[in-house]
A and B are shown apart, each in its own frame.
Chain A
């Protein structure tokens, strides 16, 4: 391992100018931020193998390493914001060692700490810490407690590599690593086949996206001869002609990677199944962090996307369609986690609508606020499931602890969880001044604004606005079915319902604060009275400047509508949210809900929604079955058994046995034959010698 002494190679301006300003301990900090969760993985993994009963040690190590990471990240944030205050363009690159020096390809094991990765770093370690703390309460009684925290720590380590990586291959390491941890944690309770299958599904569907990421990297390497972010983005405007086929291909293949990782149409099907994992996993990996990696990738490569307006339209269109499509499915799910899963798919669609529109700040802003309120919703549902599970466990009942038809009226039994989940619902529905209102409104406003240049964005805006209505509806339905109305858990079970312990409600409370206050990160201009506006936008400006310039050059820059249009849009957004919430609440409570056990099957459109438009069945018929049949008949029976086994393996064996048979004809056992041959040999050799 080669560890150069002058490790602080710095981006943008001249080397000498920046090295002076580079913070001293940055290399150590970055190594610690990533190394601590990795250490946690090793320690917890060792405990899982040899001391699975040492739960106290696991409870200390698991969340402890991450909290330490978060503290270091926060300190680094403080130091770097001072540095960037002086010269906002400097993004330190910390190179730990040379990783892939192959011919012209030189990839360092390097991390880039700029404004964008700093935002992601804080979200991952901050929200991650809270979810780790929650897990202490939630998973404590599980047999695989140490194994769980080992995986969770490993996930965070890879996620940090993903957001801090200074080149596409570094990011790809993290990208694949989080995919692996996602697979391990979805199938955490692997003794049930459905869970193991869900893990495999997530892994396989993501392979399709990873293929796109790889192709994009090859294309970038072909065009630039480098894969480092700094070099690629520095030279992109000269190397890639704006709107040309190459940049469009690169960005579309990159987006294919995002479609897989961030569960967009048509590859979203793995995410709802991923709810088979423990609920804190759903909160951390499948809502707050990993699935937003695609949004981060588009934001990171915003310059490339800005140079390819066609790709931007595709990104925004897929996002808007996913937002609407997933929201309709969410209307008719009964499993509380499934509703939240489709809601996540839908909200990820919003983020892509934002970054596709070119409103990178809005997309990242929604990513951050979504991390807060969706983590809160998932952990809240975890708290509910925990109570339900205990109630059913106490009476040895086998009812479904996640089915909302078995809940109802839980407000009385778990008020803290209920109040916090209602806050998060207001946030996701877009009620001011909660976090979700500002971020979602900004995305929709930018989409509307870009409609000036490209009318199709008006359609995307309309789809997003409709999805917002549906979002408010299904979230109100979730709250009404879970916390209000008569309780349907069961006479005996009701006595065992209770609020979760403090290790679980504590993180919920902190996330609740973030959910309420998250909007202050990037207040819009019109809300100046509440605080300093557009802070996140100014913070991210250095990272986004080149992309903004490129968009401006193409005449595609999305601007916020002003004046009466702006007021109308805001009024409409709030009206949509309020109407959706009230409608959802009233409709759900007025229609009688029966326990899952006795509920009649849905019919008509409701059944189509409940069956998720039969998309899984469609994929099964169109792709899985033909592929299995092709593999069986052609690949297995014809190619493998026929050609490889028949001609290759058995053929080689038959050939050598035939040769052996021929040779063995010489071994007659008759002494005379041997002597004759021997004599013939001697005569031959003598003849050869005397001939010369």
Chain B
């Protein structure tokens, strides 16, 4: 039921996420794009569970759990970076430059 369109939407969302990660400089926006990619994957999991059984749906819960934990850690890091640099523009954050 609507397998093809669901996967198409999922792919579009994923590409938007990737493009955002690659093109944007704001850490918050990049973080949101990563979430977008996760949810795109979640959507494809749910859609594909029609064909492969319920394990896809169960896996989505795990992804959401990990994403929640990641949100806590990721936002805390971004907050700390902001306190240090007074900015979340990634062009200014290149401490690991070789």
Q: Is B51 an interface residue (CB 8 A)?
A: no
**Given A675-B21, A675-B22, A679-B22, A668 and B90 touching (CB < 8 A)?**
no
Within 8 A of A (CB), among B27-72: 30
B residues within 8 A CB of A239? none
Task: Return the contact of A679 from the options B18, B91, B96, B97 (Cβ within 8 A).
Answer: B18
Task: Return the contact of B93 from the options A671, A675, A679 (Cβ within 8 A).
Answer: A671
Contact between chains at A663 and B98 (CB < 8 Å)? yes
CB distance from A659 to the nearest CB of B (A): 13
Cα of A671 to Cα of B22 in the assembled complex, Å: 9
Chain A 649-692, CB within 8 Å of chain B: the 1/0 string? 00000000000000111111111100110010000000000000
A residues within 8 A CB of B30? 671
B residues within 8 A CB of A663? 98
A residues within 8 A CB of B2? none
Cα of A669 to Cα of B91 in the assembled complex, Å: 9
Contact between chains at A672 and B98 (CB < 8 Å)? no
Cα of A666 to Cα of B96 in the assembled complex, Å: 11
B residues within 8 A CB of A668? 94, 97-98
Contact between chains at B95 and A669 (CB < 8 Å)? yes
A residues within 8 A CB of B97? 667-669
Q: For the complex, count residues of B whose C-beta is within 8 A of A.
A: 13
Contact between chains at B22 and A667 (CB < 8 Å)? no
Contact between chains at B96 and A669 (CB < 8 Å)? yes
Interface of A is mostly: helix
Contact between chains at A669 and B94 (CB < 8 Å)? yes
CB distance from B49 to the nearest CB of A (A): 23
Contact between chains at A670 and B98 (CB < 8 Å)? no
Residue of A nearest to B18 (CB): A679
A residues within 8 A CB of B18? 679
Contact between chains at A666 and B91 (CB < 8 Å)? no
Contact between chains at A671 and B90 (CB < 8 Å)? yes
**Given A670-B90, A670-B91, A671-B93, A664 and B98 touching (CB < 8 A)?**
yes
B residues within 8 A CB of A676? 22
Contact between chains at B96 and A667 (CB < 8 Å)? yes
CB distance from A301 to the nearest CB of B (A): 70
B residues within 8 A CB of A664? 98
Cα of A667 to Cα of B22 in the assembled complex, Å: 17
Known: A665-B98, A668-B97, A679-B18. 7 other contacts (CB 8 A): A668-B98, A669-B97, A669-B98, A670-B91, A671-B93, A672-B25, A672-B90
* Residue ranges of A at the interface with B (Cβ–Cβ < 8 Å): 663-672, 675-676, 679
Q: Give the top 10 A-B pairs by smallest Cβ distance, nearest first.
A: A669-B94, A667-B98, A664-B98, A669-B97, A669-B96, A671-B90, A675-B21, A670-B94, A668-B97, A676-B22
* Residue ranges of B at the interface with A (Cβ–Cβ < 8 Å): 18, 21-22, 25, 30, 90-91, 93-98
Could you write out 30 A-B pairs with CB less than 8 Å apart?
Answer: A663-B98, A664-B98, A665-B98, A666-B98, A667-B96, A667-B97, A667-B98, A668-B94, A668-B97, A668-B98, A669-B93, A669-B94, A669-B95, A669-B96, A669-B97, A669-B98, A670-B90, A670-B91, A670-B94, A671-B30, A671-B90, A671-B93, A672-B22, A672-B25, A672-B90, A675-B21, A675-B22, A676-B22, A679-B18, A679-B22
